[in-house]
């Protein structure tokens, strides 16, 4: 694993290409290399999220609660590297809220980890299925956990309202006509194209 991580670090410019791109959020862009994901920071807030993931993972690891949390293998000012987990299937082309009481893919140790993140580490947004992947046993693994309530309220919301960071809406793309995730930069953004049609 260390050998692969070193390869990623040394060949980053070649690996961060259209062919390896797998997703984008408002602050980080995600690429895949073999069984790893590379989250490239698009904004200072993305870097802060990665720092939080590193801190949270280390805290959970010290308490033996990290089995179903995506580990941080490497992090610097530009990116974070973690293992790849299969994304959850969408429902009607959209993410959905997980049912933590009835979903048998959610293990007891994951529930305990989420409780600790929520109550002691200021964690935020655990219900959305887009924040999870599944491991080889079909169990859920938390893969995106760096946003805290404090970051969300003090940084993300003001930046989104100013149109600096995009909010994500499910609407019809004005170019291809398909209902997709659209990245909207503030209330005056009239460009309703999807990522595939050229808008980032």
pLDDT tens digit string along 107-133?
A: 999 999 999 999 999 999 888 999 999
User: 191 and 113, same structural domain?
Assistant: no
Q: Residue 58: inside a domain, yes or no?
A: yes
User: 179 and 135, same structural domain?
Assistant: no
Cα separation, 78 vs 74, in Å, equals 11
Q: Residue 149: inside a domain, yes or no?
A: yes
User: 174 and 85, same structural domain?
Assistant: no
Evaluate if residue 79 carries a pLDDT over 90: yes
Q: Which of 4-13, 83-92, 138-147 has the lowest mean pLDDT?
A: 83-92
User: 19 and 72, same structural domain?
Assistant: yes
Q: How many domains does the chain have?
A: 2
User: 131 and 49, same structural domain?
Assistant: yes
| The predicted structure's pLDDT at residue 179 | 87
User: 120 and 86, same structural domain?
Assistant: yes
Enclosing domain of residue 97? 2-155
User: 145 and 172, same structural domain?
Assistant: no
What CATH number should be reported for the domain holding residue 35? 3.30.200.20
pLDDT tens digit string along 126-150?
A: 889 999 999 999 999 999 999 999 9
Mean pLDDT, all residues of the chain: 93
Q: Residue 161: inside a domain, yes or no?
A: no
């Amino acid at each position: 694993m260390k050998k692969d991580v070193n390869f990623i670090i040394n060949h980053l410019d070649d690996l961060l290409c259209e062919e390896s791109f797998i997703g984008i959020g408002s602050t980080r862009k995600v690429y895949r290399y073999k069984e790893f994901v590379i989250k490239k920071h698009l904004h200072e807030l993305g870097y802060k999220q990665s720092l939080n993931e590193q801190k949270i993972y280390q805290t959970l690891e010290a308490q033996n609660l990290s089995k179903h949390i995506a580990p941080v293998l490497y992090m610097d000012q530009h990116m974070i590297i973690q293992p790849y987990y299969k994304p959850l299937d969408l429902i009607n082309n959209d993410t959905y809220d997980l049912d933590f009481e009835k979903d048998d893919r959610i293990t007891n140790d994951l529930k305990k980890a989420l409780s600790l993140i929520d109550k002691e580490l200021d964690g935020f947004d655990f219900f959305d299925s887009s924040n999870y992947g599944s491991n080889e046993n079909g169990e859920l693994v938390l893969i995106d956990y760096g946003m805290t309530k404090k970051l969300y309220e003090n940084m993300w919301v003001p930046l989104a309202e100013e149109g600096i960071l995009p909010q994500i809406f499910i609407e019809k793309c004005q170019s291809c006509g398909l209902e997709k995730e659209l990245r909207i930069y503030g209330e005056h953004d009239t460009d309703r194209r999807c990522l595939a049609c050229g808008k980032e």
